[in-house]
Structure 1
Amino acid sequence: MQLSRFIVVLLLVFFSLAIKAQNVTIKGILIDQQTKQPLEYASMALLKKADSTVVGGVLTGPNGSFEISKLQIGQYVLKIAYIGYKNRFIPVNINDTRMVNLGSVTLTPTSELLNQVNISSGKVNASNKIDKQSYRADQFESAKGGTAIDVLKNLPSVAVNGEGQISVRGSTGFLVLVNGKPVLTDAQTVLSQLPANSLENIELITSPSAKYDPDGKAGIINIVTKKGANDGFTLTANAQAGLPSTTDYDNKEKPKRFGGDVTLNFRKDKWDISVGGNYLRNDNAGYREGDVYTKNFTNNTITRFPSNGERSFDKYNYAGRLSAIYAPNKNNSFSVGFFSGKRYQARLADLVYTNSTSDLLTGVPIRSTTYYNSNLQTKEGTFTLGNLDYTHTFADKSSLTASLLYENANLYGNTRNRNLGYPNTTDTIQYVFNPYKNPINGYRFKLDYAVNVGKGKFESGYQFRYDTQDGQFDYFVSPAISQPDANRFRGTAGAKNQIHSVYSQYSGKEDKLEYIGGLRYEYATRRLNLSYDPAVHKLNLSNLFPSLNLLYNINDGLKLKAGYSRRIQRTNNYELNPIPEREHSETLEQGDPDLKPSFIDLVELGLTRNFKKGSFFSTLYYQNIKNPIQRVNSVYADTILNRVFTNAEKARSFGLELGANLQPVKWWSLYLGGNVYNYKVSGDLNVLGSSSVINNANWVFSINANTSFKLSKTWSVQGNVNYLSKRPTAQGEDSKFLVPNTAVKKTFMDGRFSATLQWQNMDLGMNQSNRQRITTFGKDFYTTTNYIYETDVFLLNFSFNLNKLTGKAKLPTSEFGDKEF
């Protein structure tokens, strides 16, 4: 009997050990040997040591993590392969049933990739992956102390014009992500609130896969912010101060420029907490020269009203942010974020107008007058955001992520337009006051599931987006005048947007070929209610958005990639709002409640070459655009132009994007980027019921260059230039735009403290830099305006780092609240 019990116990122990032996797991995190950044989508294959038989394999996740399960006791070799890196083989011995944790596993870049370094820090400046280009933010010294826009404008396919409008490959519409989270707001406003010092990398996703929102005709820009890399406390602080202006535009006030930001990170065990805050005051002095005429064919007259005078900006923004990540175990992770901030901008335009009316045919003068127009436009916004994310990893290593984001934005402002006598400016001819309130509330809920299937990864998900906007717009004129359409200038506009979307995609690697293919479906509704129109303006959309990306590794230094994606450029509420705003004396601004979104087909073919002294890439691309959104002019009155949004029939763009990172010698590095494209807009154009045919095309190019010289161990100097050529618009063209900068940097305390002197908008009295002329014309009008912005600006920046900052911080980001700013 005792023998029988012993045999039973022995058998149970044997089977228990056998079962456990089938479930041993190997895990770890794969990182770059130099940058310590996680490497995603790397191939991990486990081979039997005896005969090299493959017994398991996975692709690394977004944080570089990997796990291979259901293994037996034995001797193995882990083979790690990743394009641009040297293959690595790691012996793995499984002697018992315990989990084998390899910890952080490093992978060494190839000799070609290693040459893409910054001379002062040794980090990779730029890299090209299957669906994106990635650039290190701190390589641009002239951007220190500024905003994300100051970093972004240096990238090869990015251009920023004199009005701060950002374009990617010539297109102004693109989606902004911050640490992978979508932001539906106006890009200029969102990026201007992110301190440049808090950025780690900027990623250009020019051919996005199906898991991303299809918003943005130019693709996606992902901003990756910093956080602590090591356990314990990490602190970084920056301060900026502007020196007195070197140029005088006879403005009423001297510009003020100062600011600072601080980020504190605590990382220990299961917690990762970041808090930060920033303040930036960045005024700009300037001048404006304008010339306009309108033709009245009914009265047979032509009215000219040239103007010149001050055009300056007072600008500041501040924000506080908090994020916390809690991982109680390997299968569960929670993250929460909070952001609260404010942005303020006041634009002052004090102009002297010289108006004259003449006979259209004979040119005989009829009347003339001179007056002074003081126009003050203020825009303010307070933003509060919160997000909550939860990720669960199942036993089969599949994962489910749920994400919820809420935003409340209170946008408000006004325009004060005073027409005064001249030179006696105490005499008020007319005063127009346009105040508005525009509160916004919105939600976003996402579910994403990912699982390894075969040699790749399958991902699928659902997303619901909902936002409301209730604008109230007023219009007061003193002294009161008889204006038949005055009721159109005041009222309410309420918009509701809902979007349901589902997607699936598969990504993987087969020998030298990487691929990502997927399909996204969206059902979207738009409702716009106007106080003076009983009819509801509705739009329902049901669309498919396919995508495909391929990358072929010809050899260690040469890659070929191709991509296709379908995109949508949605209308924002500013473009839809038909209630006119008296922008300034000569202009009314209004939208179109029935404006259609644009649909875009993006195609690209690229080549990347790494070599001993650096790297080079080139990309051919093509965009086919249906219903491109245009901002055009029409005549409202003899001295007032109406600027409206409308759809053209079609547009297309094809071009070539180039970029190079070079290090000819140890003390000199050079970064070059360029973009040249041909843009054409054509077809019928409807402007407030009046139709016309347009056909405008031209070549456009931009150049961004950045060069650094290491003078000694602690001294360096850097120069950069951003140049944008003249470019066509629906009714005219915009002139070239040039901005050169120089920065001198001194480091102390083994690099933990640095001081930088920046010379921005260099001009030296040549009257070439930081100015732009915008010209539009039609059958009954012509307008050209030269905007002259401040040049030769000097700033001092001070930075202190208690510990190294790197990686991704999951801070909450604005979904839509800045759209109308």
Structure 2
Amino acid sequence: MNLRFILLAVLLAATQVALAQKASITGTVTDKKNGQPLEYASVAVFKTTDSSLITGAVTNAKGGFSLERLHAGNYHLRILYIGYETIYVSGIALAEGQQLNLDKIVLNRGSALLDEVNVTGTQSNVSNRIDKQTFRAGQFEAAKGGNAVDVLKNLPSVSVDGQGNISVRGSSNFLVLVNGKPVVTDAQTVLSQLPANAIENIALITSPSAKYDPDGKGGIINIITKKGAADGFTISANALAGLPSTTDHGNKEKPQRFGGDLTVSFRKNKWDVAVSGNYTRNDNSGYREGDVYTKNFDADIITRFPSEGERSFDKYNYAGRASVTFSPDTNNTFSAGFFIGKRYQARLADILYNNTASDLTSGELIRSTTYFNSNLQIKEGNFSLGNIDYTHRFRNKSTLTASALFESARLFGSTRNKNLDYPETSHMLQEVYNPYENPIDGYRFKLDYAVNIGKGKLESGYQFRYDTQNGKFDYFVTPATSQPDADRFRGSAKTRNRINSIYTQYSGNEQKLEYTAGLRYEYAVRTVALSFDPTAHKLDLSNLFPSLNLMYTLREGWKAKAGYSKRIQRTNNFELNPIPEREHSETLEQGDPNLLPSFIDLAELGLIHDFKKGSFFTTLYYQHIKNPIQRVNSVYADTILNRVFTNAEAARTFGLEAGASLEPVKWWSLYLGGNIYNYRINGNLNILGVNSRVDNSNWVYSVNVNTTFRLGSSWSLQGNVNYLSARPTAQGEDSRFLVPNTSLKKTFLNGRFSATLQWQNMDLGWGQTQRQRITTSGPDFYTTTNYIYETDVFLLNLGFNLNRLSGKSKLPASEFGDKEF
């Protein structure tokens, strides 16, 4: 099977090399004053005869652009960059097949910039292209000193709830790329380890082409990190310190907040070397209120166990990255990288329970018990990975890229439940201890080829993915009890995933129309082997994933786009592991080794408008989901609920998202983003062999607002609000979630130093911020939990930059690990 895939990919590449090329224009756009390359400058080519727009491009991190697939004829160029004077290059006469290099094109800064020291607000904050929206991370001051999640939650399609779960268009399943490399891991864990200060841009790809992995029903988020200046030595450093929350939840310990990150890079001639490291300690205090009841119809008893108490987190992570890129000539590039890191999280839940059992019919009290549950859950992960890439550019301008990546992650932890007498908590009633080890190893190999054909580009490739996880889980109860099913609480679960895929896609333009069409084929094998089951659980999948994207220029400043892609939400090992874990006194968590992946059809239709004072976009979208993966509850015992994963029959989402980036005056900028959608889940639901019918739907919306006031050349004030409305689940509803923030920034020494004071989770005693209630119910149970997180937190972030940091860094990022964290 692997040999057939490789032969087919090689055949596609060989066929493409033999085809003829059209003419092209290349060049580099730089700042006249300091010679720095200008990334994201707009370059458009027009026919001289009728001034009709032929094609366009956006400059890359080196300021370079390439206008390809051009016919012989006379042309002129227009180069635009916000804050700079527009440049026109005329008198271009192309012969058939000519490869014209214009070398450097220098832009003069606009008069508004020449008198200012601080160039805040001169860069484009948002750009829209045929398949993605790109957002500049630096515009969100409240995220400084935080991580990638703090940046992401400001985007119009993205929302983050009280648990830290990230959603794109209402879906928590999406593919994460770091500098274009896929990260097949739990998104929340990966992004929480990436410092916000290291991020240059975030691209939101809601209708991905066949070139990308089809993982993630919410699409793709590509994180572009910073790198050094065009040439020379660059240092960037940041330090963060914070105070405990001004609200006191009575937690045992005060949270600690401090950290920093450092990036050192050197770029000269053929070499580009970068080293980066970060450490972050960011504890969270909080409180939890719960109310649960279960009904035992056979015994005619209703058991209630309301609870309240501390729910706090000790969290830290640190990582080091190194990368080197060597370009011996213009046709060959070698790069390699290495990453090591650690993440630690300890969640303490000290909860007081008041249990009562009553007659279900009469309501007469049968018994009552009060006890104290101290629950400590520890998760740790040590990660290391390496990658190597090679790109060759042929004489016909086609490119061949080979890349390989390997990762090893040592994941381990435990959950310790202590049920203590109350108020004499020195007397232990029962202790349940669940230690585990869950190491993961994986690798990926990719081969991609791209060649210009006719008026477009044909790209094809082959990819092999493999990962394996060998988990060992134990279960101890003190004092020992007679539990008939105790053996199923310990054992091993080994999961193996093997995926072969090939793709081909063609992209180009025809006058005012841009298009990309492609097809991807995958053959995947998933195996789950359990120590207590002699028969392995195996799933073979053979699927096609088509994609199509169109963008049409209606008139100057107005574009319409449409897209379709088929995607898959794969199962992770946490969802597949059937060995129960006593996560709380009242909760058992387990997966299903026969869980099916979800298949999603995505379609969207959008409108984009760029104008002098900003830009606006709106997109209407639709998702149909087959086998949606759900996390649901059922009754295990009178005072314990099972929390399990299962498939529902179908779900669908249709919605509208919009965003606007405005700068009405020089001293004020405003970013608005919103998303509203209707989600419905329906069909059969199988919970541990018990079938039920589900049909739940509702409207959901989110609003993200970010506004900045420039108070002179070196002062700025920013406020932002993230709001997520209540949303339906398979068995209930999650409540709304609100987070407002304010930050004040001061720069020194021509912008090299900066100090930012942040006021996060603003509440002022109103009791509305950082609160979320999660409710589920069934015929024999009801549970609701109100999570109350800390508010009114003050932090100080100090930054230093020696030379400019911008563009894409090739520092490696986690590929497979973190999945079970």
TM-score, scaled relative to structure 1? 0.91
Q: Which amino acid aligns with 1:749?
A: L
User: What residue in structure 2 maps to residue 653 of structure 1?
Assistant: 653
Q: Which amino acid aligns with 1:776?
A: T
Counterparts of 2:353 and 2:755, CA distance in 1 = 46
Encode CA deviations 1:538-578: one digit per residue, 9 max, x unaligned. 00000000000001111221110000000000000000000
Query: How far did residue 319 of structure 1 move?
Result: 0.3
User: Which stretch of the first structure deviates more once superposed, 98-107 or 127-136?
Assistant: 98-107
Q: Give the secondary structure class of the aligned counterpart of 2:170.
A: coil
- The answer on whether the counterparts of 1:258 and 1:280 sit within 8 Å (CA) in structure 2 is yes
Q: Give the secondary structure class of the aligned counterpart of 1:805.
A: coil
User: What residue in structure 2 maps to residue 759 of structure 1?
Assistant: 759
Counterparts of 1:568 and 1:108, CA distance in 2 = 47
User: What residue in structure 2 maps to residue 582 of structure 1?
Assistant: 582
In the TM superposition, what are the counterparts of 1:282-361 in structure 2 within 5 Å?
282-361=282-361
User: Which stretch of the first structure deviates more once superposed, 196-205 or 553-562?
Assistant: 553-562
Counterparts of 1:620 and 1:162, CA distance in 2 = 27
User: What residue in structure 2 maps to residue 454 of structure 1?
Assistant: 454
- The answer on whether the counterparts of 1:88 and 1:107 sit within 8 Å (CA) in structure 2 is no
- The answer on whether the counterparts of 2:613 and 2:662 sit within 8 Å (CA) in structure 1 is yes
The change in CA–CA distance for 1:25 and 1:289 in structure 2 (over 3 A counts) is: closer
User: What residue in structure 1 maps to residue 178 of structure 2?
Assistant: 178
Query: How far did residue 247 of structure 1 move?
Result: 1.3
- The answer on whether the counterparts of 1:133 and 1:204 sit within 8 Å (CA) in structure 2 is yes
In the TM superposition, what are the counterparts of 1:15-30 in structure 2 within 5 Å?
27-29=26-28
The change in CA–CA distance for 1:33 and 1:499 in structure 2 (over 3 A counts) is: farther
Query: How far did residue 39 of structure 1 move?
Result: 5.5
User: What residue in structure 1 maps to residue 115 of structure 2?
Assistant: none
Encode CA deviations 1:218-237: one digit per residue, 9 max, x unaligned. 10000000001321001110
Counterparts of 2:132 and 2:679, CA distance in 1 = 23
- The answer on whether the counterparts of 1:157 and 1:657 sit within 8 Å (CA) in structure 2 is yes
Tell me, yes or no, if structure 1 residue 741 matches structure 2 residue 741. yes
Query: How far did residue 60 of structure 1 move?
Result: 8.2
User: What residue in structure 1 maps to residue 130 of structure 2?
Assistant: 130
Counterparts of 1:484 and 1:263, CA distance in 2 = 56
Encode CA deviations 1:62-87: one digit per residue, 9 max, x unaligned. 66444889999xxx966447999979
Q: Give the secondary structure class of the aligned counterpart of 1:635.
A: strand
Q: Which amino acid aligns with 1:340?
A: I
- Structure number with greater Rg is 1
In the TM superposition, what are the counterparts of 1:174-253 in structure 2 within 5 Å?
174-253=174-253
Counterparts of 2:554 and 2:310, CA distance in 1 = 57
Counterparts of 1:552 and 1:350, CA distance in 2 = 58
Query: How far did residue 104 of structure 1 move?
Result: 3.3
The change in CA–CA distance for 1:108 and 1:675 in structure 2 (over 3 A counts) is: farther
Encode CA deviations 1:163-199: one digit per residue, 9 max, x unaligned. 0000001011000000000000000000000000000
In the TM superposition, what are the counterparts of 1:348-497 in structure 2 within 5 Å?
348-497=348-497
Q: CA RMSD in A?
A: 2.8
Q: Give the secondary structure class of the aligned counterpart of 1:806.
A: coil
In the TM superposition, what are the counterparts of 1:577-656 in structure 2 within 5 Å?
577-656=577-656
Counterparts of 1:813 and 1:471, CA distance in 2 = 23
The change in CA–CA distance for 1:33 and 1:655 in structure 2 (over 3 A counts) is: farther
- The answer on whether the counterparts of 1:356 and 1:368 sit within 8 Å (CA) in structure 2 is yes
Q: Give the secondary structure class of the aligned counterpart of 2:171.
A: coil
Counterparts of 1:699 and 1:26, CA distance in 2 = 49
Counterparts of 2:423 and 2:56, CA distance in 1 = 78
- The answer on whether the counterparts of 1:759 and 1:795 sit within 8 Å (CA) in structure 2 is yes
Q: Give the secondary structure class of the aligned counterpart of 2:566.
A: strand
Query: How far did residue 43 of structure 1 move?
Result: 6.5
Counterparts of 1:71 and 1:606, CA distance in 2 = 30
TM-score, scaled relative to structure 2? 0.91
Encode CA deviations 1:440-465: one digit per residue, 9 max, x unaligned. 11010000000011111110000000
Q: Which amino acid aligns with 2:553?
A: N
- The answer on whether the counterparts of 1:279 and 1:318 sit within 8 Å (CA) in structure 2 is yes
Counterparts of 2:55 and 2:560, CA distance in 1 = 25
In the TM superposition, what are the counterparts of 1:251-262 in structure 2 within 5 Å?
251-262=251-262
Query: How far did residue 103 of structure 1 move?
Result: 2.5
User: What residue in structure 2 maps to residue 265 of structure 1?
Assistant: 265
Q: Which amino acid aligns with 1:634?
A: S
Q: Give the secondary structure class of the aligned counterpart of 2:534.
A: strand
Tell me, yes or no, if structure 1 residue 683 matches structure 2 residue 683. yes
Q: Give the secondary structure class of the aligned counterpart of 2:535.
A: strand
Counterparts of 1:60 and 1:246, CA distance in 2 = 46
Long gaps (5+) in structure 1: 1-21, 111-117
Query: How far did residue 667 of structure 1 move?
Result: 1.0
Counterparts of 1:573 and 1:597, CA distance in 2 = 12
Q: Which amino acid aligns with 1:177?
A: L
- The answer on whether the counterparts of 2:559 and 2:607 sit within 8 Å (CA) in structure 1 is yes
Counterparts of 1:61 and 1:768, CA distance in 2 = 44
Query: How far did residue 810 of structure 1 move?
Result: 1.1
The change in CA–CA distance for 1:262 and 1:53 in structure 2 (over 3 A counts) is: closer
Query: How far did residue 277 of structure 1 move?
Result: 0.4
Q: Give the secondary structure class of the aligned counterpart of 1:197.
A: helix
Q: How many residues align?
A: 784
Query: How far did residue 669 of structure 1 move?
Result: 0.9
Counterparts of 1:369 and 1:25, CA distance in 2 = 80
- The answer on whether the counterparts of 2:322 and 2:338 sit within 8 Å (CA) in structure 1 is yes
Query: How far did residue 812 of structure 1 move?
Result: 1.3
Q: Which amino acid aligns with 2:474?
A: D
Counterparts of 1:778 and 1:641, CA distance in 2 = 11
Query: How far did residue 388 of structure 1 move?
Result: 0.2
User: What residue in structure 1 maps to residue 527 of structure 2?
Assistant: 527
- The answer on whether the counterparts of 1:58 and 1:455 sit within 8 Å (CA) in structure 2 is no
Q: Give the secondary structure class of the aligned counterpart of 1:766.
A: coil
Query: How far did residue 665 of structure 1 move?
Result: 1.6
The change in CA–CA distance for 1:158 and 1:106 in structure 2 (over 3 A counts) is: farther
Encode CA deviations 1:393-442: one digit per residue, 9 max, x unaligned. 00111000000000000000000000000000011100000000011110
Q: Which amino acid aligns with 1:172?
A: S
Counterparts of 1:450 and 1:391, CA distance in 2 = 11
Counterparts of 1:641 and 1:89, CA distance in 2 = 70
- The answer on whether the counterparts of 1:237 and 1:800 sit within 8 Å (CA) in structure 2 is yes
Counterparts of 1:132 and 1:25, CA distance in 2 = 25
- The answer on whether the counterparts of 2:294 and 2:304 sit within 8 Å (CA) in structure 1 is yes
Query: How far did residue 712 of structure 1 move?
Result: 1.6
The change in CA–CA distance for 1:504 and 1:99 in structure 2 (over 3 A counts) is: closer
Encode CA deviations 1:678-706: one digit per residue, 9 max, x unaligned. 00000000000000000000000000000
Long gaps (5+) in structure 2: 1-20, 111-117
Counterparts of 1:623 and 1:67, CA distance in 2 = 35
